[in-house]
Amino acid sequence: MNITHFPDLISYLGRKGLLDTNQNISCKILTGGVSNRTVFISAAGGDSFIVKQALAKLNVKEDWFSRPERIFVEARALDELPNLIPVSSIPAFIFEDKEQFILIMQAIPQPHENWKTQLLRGSILLDHVDQFARLLALIHSQTIDNDYYASLFGEKEFFKSLRMDAYYRFTATQVPEASEFLLQLISETIHKEYCLVHGDFSPKNVLVRDENLILLDYEVMHYGDGAFDIGFAMTHFLSKANHLLLFRGKFIEAARRFWKTYNHIAKINAEMEARAVRNTLACLLSRVRGKSPLEYLSKIERDTQLAICLKILPQLPRNMNHFIEMWETIQHE
């Protein structure tokens, strides 16, 4: 079944007892993601939810494949994360279908807005940055050396295919100057296991409702190296500083604030900080030369970001604030 064929979807939901098909029902395809079909369902009786169906081939220019069973990792995360972060920060799990690779979750009530959309128009609130950092710090710090979560999220197949291969390994083939650095980082990241990792910790996976952040998309969650999440998140602030020069100072401030708030809660050591810096540089490279480049960056901006990364690489610091300072300085040159 293809959930974007609405008559089939409505009939399916009725058979599963999830929807009264006698009431008026509206369906809307949600865009923005590349790994799933996603449909918003709203019924006259007040029920509304999100239906996701995982794709085996992702919707990007390059060939990019991943087993659709990853949708069940997300289902497991939705079930577990209320034990780690505020219930108001995560959609409620409703249903999963292991044959059709379908996940159904609560729809976040309107009004809400995607945080990425707000950031791209220059609306940068430090309270939102603090919340973003706090959510990540709670997920990491509460699962350190935890056998339960290590067992529950021990499979790294989807992280390897959707992040290490599509981001780092592919970028290594496109940027020879960074190849050795990226390949070493892949090995380092795969073998580190000490906390729960979101794996897609990005503003596009955050909704803002009543000034509170709601975190989405957990299909690459695994037990591994939290430094990847930090680098992945930091990349979005620094890339937007490259894209929106009018707000460059605010995005640099946001990057510093994210790091300060995260570190205040998680209290990481120098070794993890150095790995977070390496992952930040690797993600910045990957979002301009990997299989999933940031769509809002122009060719000139992608080339600029690549040049900044390659200038930093030979003198890469171990300190995150120093890295942000270097990024800002080179941008100004």
pLDDT digits (tens, 9 = 90+) for 6-48: 999 999 999 999 888 888 999 999 876 677 889 999 988 777 9
Here the tokens at position 8 are 């089939």
Asked whether residue 201 is domain-assigned, the answer is yes
Instruction: Supply φ then ψ for residue 226, to 5 degrees.
Output: -65, -20
Same domain for 140 and 79: no
Query: Is pLDDT above 60 for 60?
Result: no
Whether 115 has a pLDDT exceeding 80, the answer reads: yes
* Residue 59 confidence (pLDDT): 59
User: Are 118 and 102 contained in the same domain?
Assistant: no
Burial 77-100 (b: 16+ CB within 10 A, else e): bbebbeebbbeebbbebbebbeee
Q: Which of 78, 106, 134 is the last residue of a domain?
A: 106
Specify the number of domains making up the chain: 2
- Summarised one tens digit per residue, pLDDT across range 119-171 is 999 999 999 999 999 999 999 999 999 999 999 999 999 999 989 999 999 99
Q: Is residue 84 part of a domain?
A: yes
Which of the listed residues 106, 131, 148 is the one where a domain comes to its end? 106
Note the pLDDT of residue 56: 77
Tell me: do 93 and 211 sit in the same domain: no
126 plus 69 within the same structural domain: no
Q: Is residue 13 part of a domain?
A: yes
Residues 155, 14 share a domain: no
Residues 6+ apart with CB under 8 A from 59: 34, 35
Residue 91 structural domain: 6-106
φ/ψ of 154, rounded to 5, equals -75, -20
In a domain, 124, yes or no: yes
Shared domain check, 225 and 145: yes
Query: Do both 27 and 75 map to the same domain?
Result: yes
310 pLDDT above the threshold of 80? yes
Least confident piece of the model among 36-40, 226-230, 253-257: 36-40
Judge if 207 and 245 occupy the same domain.
Answer: yes
pLDDT tier, 311 (very low <50, low <70, confident <90, very high otherwise): very high
What pLDDT is stored for residue 33 in this prediction? 65
Separation between Cα atoms, residue 239 and residue 108, nearest integer Å: 28
| Count of C-beta atoms within a 10 Å radius of residue 32 | 11
pLDDT at 63: 65
Q: What is the model's pTM?
A: 0.92
Which pLDDT score is estimated for 58? Answer: 63
Computed over every residue of the chain, the mean pLDDT equals: 94
Assess whether 216 and 312 both reside in one domain. Answer: yes
Tell whether 235 and 268 lie within a shared domain.
Answer: yes
Q: How far apart are CA 210 and CA 212, in angstroms?
A: 5
Domain assignment present for residue 240? The answer is yes
Q: What pLDDT shows up at residue 45?
A: 72
Q: 106, 131, 165 — which closes off a domain?
A: 106
Residue in 280, 191, 178, 268 with CA at minimum distance from that of residue 228: 280
Q: What is the pLDDT of residue 203?
A: 97
Are 215 and 301 in the same domain? Answer: yes
Establish if 1 belongs to a structural domain: no
- Tokens coding 163: 């992040």
From 58, 63, 72, 66, select the one nearest 100 (Cα to Cα). Answer: 72
Which pLDDT does position 70 carry in this prediction? 87
Give the CATH number for residue 208: 3.90.1200.10
* Residue 68, domain member (yes or no): yes
Q: Which two tokens stand for residue 87?
A: 């219930």
Q: How far is CA 308 from CA 27, 246, 323, 327, in A?
A: 44, 19, 11, 7
User: Would the pLDDT of 328 be above 70?
Assistant: yes
Find the CATH number of the domain harbouring 40: 3.30.200.20
Residues 119 and 180 in one domain: yes
Residue whose C-alpha is closest to residue 37's, from 75, 77, 9, 64? 9
- Is residue 113 very low, low, confident or very high in pLDDT (cuts 50, 70, 90)? very high
What pLDDT score does 62 carry? 62
- Is 277 contained in some domain? yes
Q: What integer is the mean pLDDT of 71-91?
A: 95
Angle between helices 179-191 and 270-289 (to 10 degrees): 130
- Distance (Å, rounded) from C-alpha 112 to C-alpha 110? 5
